[in-house]
Structures are given as C-alpha cells and as structure tokens.
A and B are shown apart, each in its own frame.
Chain A
C-alpha cells in the first residue's frame, strides 16, 4: 500500500548531502512511501542554536511549517533528526498547551496561517517502524546485505524527549539495530551507542573536545568489529565523516583504521539493489574501497 507524506527536506540534507535527498526520492516509493513536494517550507528551525536565539520565533516558524502541511492535509516526513526534533516538539507542545497555541496563532494570523494540530510529524525511521513495519520491509528487500557489519548511531534528537517522540529506549536504543538486521546486515553493539557525536562542541568553538568526543565512539566502534557506521542525522553524519578526518589529527589510531559512514537511506538503497556508485559513496570524505570492507 502506498501512503503519501509531505517531504520536509530541511537545510542540511539539500546542501550537504544532496545524494541522500536524491536517493530518498528514488528508493522510498519502492517501499510504499510516496513523497509530495513543497517549496513553501523554511528551515525547521534547528533545536540547538535557533531555538536558543528566540524560543517564540522558533516555535512560530516551526508552527508555520506544520500549518503548510495541515493546509495540504498531509502528514510530514523528515529525513533529519534535527528537523524531526523541532517539528515534533512544537507540534506536541502547541496541541497540549492552549495558551501557547493562542500566542503562536496570534502571530501566524499576520501571515494568514493557523496551527490547528491536525497532522503527524515523523522521521522516515518512525514511518518504517509504525506504518510499514520491519517485517514488511524485509519482504521488499532485493539485495540482503549479508555479511556487512554495521554499527548504528540513532542520534540524540531522535531519542529525546522520549515522552514526545516515543521512538525508542533513549538509554539502550534497539530500533536502529533492528533496521540494520531487517536489511540483512549484521548490527554490531557497542558501549557508546546512545552517546552524543560531539558536533555541537566544535560548533561552539572547542574542536579539541569535539575530537575527543567522536574519538571515544570511533574507538568503541573499531573494537566492536563493525566495518561501517550508519546514522539518520546529517549533523552526526558529517561529524562521523569529515569530523573523523579532523579528529584523526589528534588521534593517530583513527588514521590507521578509518570507518566509513552510511546514511540510513544509503544503507536502505544498497539493500534495494543499488551499488556503492549509485548511492554517491564517492561524495563521502571517508571512502575506503568497498572490496576491502565487505
């Protein structure tokens, strides 16, 4: 069965991981997700810095994005943990708090829009879990990724706040590993799975701390025997990919055994029969020849 969702691309994926956007359009219809496009959306806005600038503006801008989907009577599908976090939190808070909703609608009225609280906002992993189901996904897989050892990193903003996102256990997350297994690959457990990737430390100017943070995870992943990392957050992806190269300047052990990262959509595309060339592996910063990895 095909269901339609309004595609919320966000800012980072179109700019920094355009191959992921391209793959989403190609692959998701094959598993029953029909993407409807809109060019009316603006930045979600991001939960770390733009929420910090002004919570009222952050909430009103997110509510505007949600109101666009409500006008089209479609649920939103996001590809990015940050977009999901912002839109889901605002959607939840405005539904629960009528005073907040009134304040936000007061400014939305100025642009002829209204937040009603009639749609759902979900990350594509949530749609896989809740609408499609991993058992059904398994049946649609064309090329099981047998023998591929993958360490999953769900990312903080898809796990917390858990009372709103209700996606997975935030302390010991399981769904990402189940997703990897559904694709025929082998999920590899490691101690720091639910830990932060550290990207915000470098964004705030402490590169040394950011390097230490990602190094802790990468050493754990090296020890676990995984050959790839996989995540569904573009900020974490960039930290694992380019950030790994930067961290390797401080930690030579990372240079000896670099670990490439695959976006969840890229991993899914491989399982749907695409090649490493097709998924844009060449655009990654860490691109260990695949023959060595599989």
Chain B
C-alpha cells in the first residue's frame, strides 16, 4: 500500500493538521465522501482526498470548495485524522491567494455591504410575496463586521475597500 505524501508545502499543511501525516490511504473516507461518490473523475483508487493531498498546488484546484464539511471522513477515518479541517485550511489558502471561485469573493463583498449574504432588495421581494415585513440594513452591525474584517485581516478582492 502506497503511503500518502503531501507534495506541496507539506510542512505548512502538517503544521496545522499534524494528524494528516498518519493517513495511510486506506480509502475508507472516500467510500463515504459525497465528492468521490459523485464527481466523475474521482474513484476509490484516485479519490478526492488523494488527488487533493497529492496535487502540486491543491489550493489552486476549484474542487477544494466542493467540500461541504459534512465530516463523513472524520467519522470514518480509522486513523483519527481530520481531513475536513485540512480542507478548510486549504480553502483559506486558496481564498487568500486569489484562487477561490468568484462566488466566494462576491459573498464576502455582499456580507460586508449589507450584513447578510443575500441582497436585501432580493430578500424583500420574497418577503413581500409571503406577506412578511421588509428588512432594513442595520448600519451599526455592518460597520462592526467591517471593523472585524479589517482587524482579522480578511482579504478583499482587488478594487474593494
């Protein structure tokens, strides 16, 4: 059996997830992973987990954003590794380096503009139809999360404040 090696910046990923190093590529997690089960290019021999961990630049692969953090891999791993946490760290790196899908940058922009990930205009159209009171932007809350974004170093797309 081949031992899974992290080709790309192995030390950086392992520093955050020491448990990943003991993955022995048994594919147990892949049998339950919705990505390996349903995405055509993946199979048990060449699973999502394997491809991602063995890629030269896993953070540049759009597929890392397919992980929905359902944690089926965490439940089933016989070695008690935490692949979900590793994927979240890879997503973070992907976002910071500008490789994340556009929708993620748009979500961040929308959140920082109105405090919610759906536009208030769209939300209110649906609410009117259901006979519900419209919602309004809470300026103070939006101001507060913008401060949090700045202080935590949340990166924005170029051209955004």
Contact = CB atoms under 8 A, between A and B. Distances in A.
B153 A54 contact: yes
Interface residues of B, number: 60
Interface string A21-60: 1100000000000000001111101111111111111001
A15 B104 contact: no
Contact of B131 (A11, A15, A22, A46): A22
Q: Is the interface of A mostly helix, strand, loop or mixed?
A: helix
A21 B149 CA distance: 29
Given A43-B117, A46-B117, A56 B152 contact: yes
A149 B65 CA distance: 35
Contact of B130 (A22, A45, A55): A22
B147 interface: yes
A196 interface: yes
B144 to A, nearest CB: 4
A48 B68 contact: yes
Contact of A205 (B68, B101, B132, B136): B101
Contacts of B140: 40
B4 interface: no
A160 B75 contact: yes
A201 interface: yes
B111 A45 contact: yes
Contacts of B132: 14, 18, 21-22
Contacts of B149: 57
Contacts, number: 186
A75 interface: no
B126 interface: yes
Interface in A165-181: 170-171
B77 interface: no
Interface string A185-215: 0000000000110111101111011101100
A47 B69 contact: yes
Contact of B70 (A41, A160, A171): A160
Contact of A110 (B35, B94, B118, B151): B151
A18 B127 contact: yes
B47 to A, nearest CB: 14
Nearest to A42: B115
A22 B149 CA distance: 32
B103 to A, nearest CB: 7
A66 B62 CA distance: 32
Contacts of A212: 38
Interface string B126-161: 110111100110101110110111011111000000
A79 to B, nearest CB: 14
A52 B70 contact: no
Nearest to A214: B38
A55 B38 contact: no
A238 interface: no
B138 A40 contact: yes
A49 B104 contact: yes
Contact of A201 (B39, B75, B147): B39
B101 A204 contact: yes
Given A48-B67, A52-B95, A196-B70, 9 more contacts: A11-B117, A54-B95, A54-B153, A60-B152, A85-B69, A156-B69, A198-B34, A201-B66, A283-B129
20 contacts: A11-B117, A14-B127, A15-B122, A21-B132, A42-B142, A47-B69, A48-B68, A49-B107, A52-B65, A52-B100, A53-B154, A55-B92, A107-B152, A156-B70, A160-B74, A196-B70, A200-B34, A201-B35, A204-B101, A209-B38
